[in-house]
Structure 1
Amino acid sequence: MRKLLVLLLCSYAIVVQGQSLSPDSIFIQMKRVADWQWKTLETSGWKNPKKDWTSGAMYTGMMAFSGLAGTDSYYQKLIQVGEDNQWKIGHYRHFADDYCVGQLYSQLYSIYQNPKYIADFKSMADSLVALPHTESLEWKKSIHIREWAWCDALFMGPPALAYLSQATGDTKYLDKASALWWKSTAYLYDKDEHLFYRDSRYFKKQEKNGAKVFWARGNGWVIAGLVRVLSTMPKTHPDYKRFTKLYKEMSGRLAALQQPDGTWHASLLDPESYASKETSGTGFIAYAMAWGINNNLLPYKKYKGVLDKAWVALSTSVHPDGKLGFVQAQGAAPDKVGYEDTDVYGVGAFLLAGTEIFKLKLEKESKVWISEVENTTAKPKTQKIEIPWRSLAKKVAGQDPQKVQVKDAATGEIIPLNIDYDGTRPKALNFEVQLSAGATRFFHIQ
């Protein structure tokens, strides 16, 4: 694989097989995919209900992207989804697939503070917390309606409860999520392979090559759900170290199973039987690994190459119109996939991965000073940013202060700025930015 380092506006982009890994190019790809998906839903309709787990998984990525988008229009689309759902979860109250949408409701509540967003989900969660959950997780008697008996559930259920704790400040939901997580892990996790079975029906199944059956998207669900729980969990929580240990084990194992094309094929241990790349599992796995680097749980140098290859594989799966291809169809096990195959949960995975890799490229590879500005409120605001010149000295040492430039790292917009002086010496750099509701903006100072 040919790699070329390109100097670009005092920052740099890595070009791998013609694909740019610069932050702005990553943002552009995310926007193309998000816009294609919304347009397709609006013009062609929704294949599954808006409360469905497939939609719920898409919303997780749309929420992540919305924060970077520089406009609240994407949040407004998600709020409209909530209105269309009357802020209700699905029909089967204790079925994780049917309350995956609770992640969206809780995250929107954290910004907009509207009690109706979480009222129904919180009612269900209160009843869930009160249950003993003592049944076996063996796949019979519709156990999945009551317990997290399949690995997919670890993306649907635990983060929903964890984000509800974050939204309400009540830790009982996170504590229940943790307790049930470890119940499912004790049953489904193969300690030798450091991977999760989909459910008990797969304990003795084998692939064509004789290997155990470990589904890429299934394990993507798990590791992505794991970091979403960790993102809400205080380091003082009694289970925090258990979660980080499991996360590092899975990350190391999955990194070793990445294929030369940059993806994780549908079957982790028999990739040749499903030889094409697959983007939904790859997106969730790449998201989790990038999040770990950004939160100092994984070493950047060890995982950088893994993520570069993964993002190239994901971005080259995007059609010219923004459609994401190579998304394995809905199912419970490895299966074939092709260029035209797509589904909304694959888009969610793509956007989650892109958001974290965007941040990683800024923080780890940018040769400029980065300023992050966040608006956690429901109202747009104008914010003045002032940065002491001494903070910039190492990056712009010896440069003419009048040549310093501030640029939006996602859109490339040049931001007007002022330099304050103490006599003839530069004292501080300041500029004003517009922040939409719930927005996070990153700025290059170069």
Structure 2
Amino acid sequence: MKEIEELEDLAERVYHRMIDTPAKDWGMNIESWDWVPGVGVISILAYGQLTGNAEAIDYVNQWAVRNKHLSEQVKVINSMAPYAIFPELYRISGERWYLETAIQIGDWMLKDAPRTREGAYEHTVTEDAEFSEQVWADTLFMAVLFLARLARLTGDSKYAKEAEFQLLVHLRLLQDPHTDVLFHGWNCADRHHMSSARWARANAWVMLASPWIAEEIGSLTPVAEEIVDRYRQLAEGLRDFQGENGLWGTVMDQPEFYTETSASAGIAAGWIAGMRMGWLDDTYKEAVDRTLNGVMERIDPDGTVQGVSGGTPVMPSIAAYQKIPCYPTLYGQGLTLILLSLAHAEMRGPCDKYSTNVS
């Protein structure tokens, strides 16, 4: 029980560090509408559901009420992340605005969101920057997760089929056949992986998003066996790059690069989600425990998660990733919170499959 109590205490501190300290800086500003606060509220919702913390779920609802007016300002793939909480908020509150807005955004993603020539979502961002014909691993967590949750909420297979397609095409374009891990991005026009960085956090987004997406859409459309096979190959490839301290370098095949906390937490959380889905076997438990111990050592007494790299586009060279500074961020807090919450749920007892739904 001491281990469960320790996880509960750490998770609560990480959560309160996200919501109790007003911040105007980019990394910890939860009162905005973009991928950073989006990952924050997705993780807080998962924390509330996995640990039974009703206060956290209520916080997410109140956050949406405060910030929903901001959702009207921009419509790009990277700002889809906050919408991933809308399906559950509709189930809880019955407020039709959540449902109607989610459908409107889902239809925009089906019909109007920019795509590459392969049909993958082009990674558009709120910043004044264009990444024409670029596919990034981040997109699966930032946008496709929402689409999958909308599919489950509405029972409409058109959203599920699109989510399944996006998952498959991203894996096909980004997976390295030599190591089985993922490159950060792919340029569809020039047909290459740009800097060819095996960036750890890119792998974390996909490792965690894939079983979550599949869980949401599985009752509406078949999930291709190729997806499961590629996911298992990815999981095994990641195990090969795990350091002795349980963590991964920010570029995982560069042993001299600094180890990065958010990627490590996301990868281990993805392993747990994969085991709960039945995609991975129990041999990953030891590797998860090593990561959990390594991540816990990086949590300050006030709940701040240290060792988190800043926002990272596809960099022009592998060396450039090592120059990204580390500072506290909502996504670093969030991925750590998800890992702690999933580990807590596993200690309470096994589950047939992963689900964030309480309804």
Shift of 1:43: 9.2
Q: Distance in 1 between matches of 2:228 and 2:357?
A: 29
- Does structure 2 retain, via aligned residues, the 8 Å contact 1:23–1:359? no
Give the letter for the 1:326 counterpart: G
Which of 123, 138, 146 matches 1:144? 123
Q: Distance in 2 between matches of 1:190 and 1:75?
A: 38
Indicate the residue corresponding to 1:441 in structure 2. none
Aligned CA distance change for structure 1 residues 57 and 90 (closer, same or farther; 3 Å)? farther
Q: Distance in 2 between matches of 1:351 and 1:321?
A: 14
Instruction: Structure 1: give runs of 5+ residues left out of the alignment.
Output: 1-7, 14-21, 207-211, 365-373, 378-446
Indicate the residue corresponding to 1:65 in structure 2. 47
**Match status 1:193 vs 2:174:** no
Q: Distance in 1 between matches of 2:62 and 2:254?
A: 42
Aligned CA distance change for structure 1 residues 98 and 265 (closer, same or farther; 3 Å)? same
In the alignment of these two chains, the number of paired residues is 337
Aligned CA distance change for structure 1 residues 65 and 148 (closer, same or farther; 3 Å)? farther
Instruction: Structure 2: give runs of 5+ residues left out of the alignment.
Output: 125-131, 316-320, 351-355
Shift of 1:131: 5.1
Q: Distance in 1 between matches of 2:22 and 2:214?
A: 31
Q: Distance in 2 between matches of 1:90 and 1:196?
A: 33
**Match status 1:228 vs 2:209:** no
- Does structure 1 retain, via aligned residues, the 8 Å contact 2:116–2:135? no
**Match status 1:288 vs 2:270:** yes
Higher helix share: 2
- Does structure 2 retain, via aligned residues, the 8 Å contact 1:34–1:347? yes
Shift of 1:144: 2.8
Q: CA RMSD in A?
A: 3.1
Cα-to-partner distance string for 1:325-375 (whole Å, 9 max, x where unaligned) = 11111112533577x7210011110111112111222336xxxxxxxxx99
Q: Which has the larger radius of gyration?
A: 1
Aligned CA distance change for structure 1 residues 43 and 87 (closer, same or farther; 3 Å)? closer
Q: Distance in 1 between matches of 2:119 and 2:218?
A: 32
Which structure exhibits the higher relative contact order, with contacts defined as CA atoms closer than 8 Å and separated by 6 or more residues? 2
TM-score when normalising by structure 1? 0.68
Shift of 1:229: 0.3
Indicate the residue corresponding to 2:260 in structure 1. 278
Give the letter for the 2:174 counterpart: L
- Does structure 2 retain, via aligned residues, the 8 Å contact 1:89–1:99? no
Q: Distance in 2 between matches of 1:87 and 1:104?
A: 15
Shift of 1:24: 2.2
**Match status 1:27 vs 2:8:** yes
Aligned CA distance change for structure 1 residues 342 and 133 (closer, same or farther; 3 Å)? closer
Aligned CA distance change for structure 1 residues 68 and 127 (closer, same or farther; 3 Å)? closer
Higher strand share: 1
Q: Distance in 1 between matches of 2:50 and 2:122?
A: 39
Aligned CA distance change for structure 1 residues 319 and 176 (closer, same or farther; 3 Å)? same
Q: Secondary structure at the match of 1:317?
A: coil
Q: Secondary structure at the match of 2:244?
A: coil
- Does structure 2 retain, via aligned residues, the 8 Å contact 1:293–1:360? no
TM-score when normalising by structure 2? 0.83
Cα-to-partner distance string for 1:388-413 (whole Å, 9 max, x where unaligned) = xxxxxxxxxxxxxxxxxxxxxxxxxx
**Match status 1:40 vs 2:40:** no
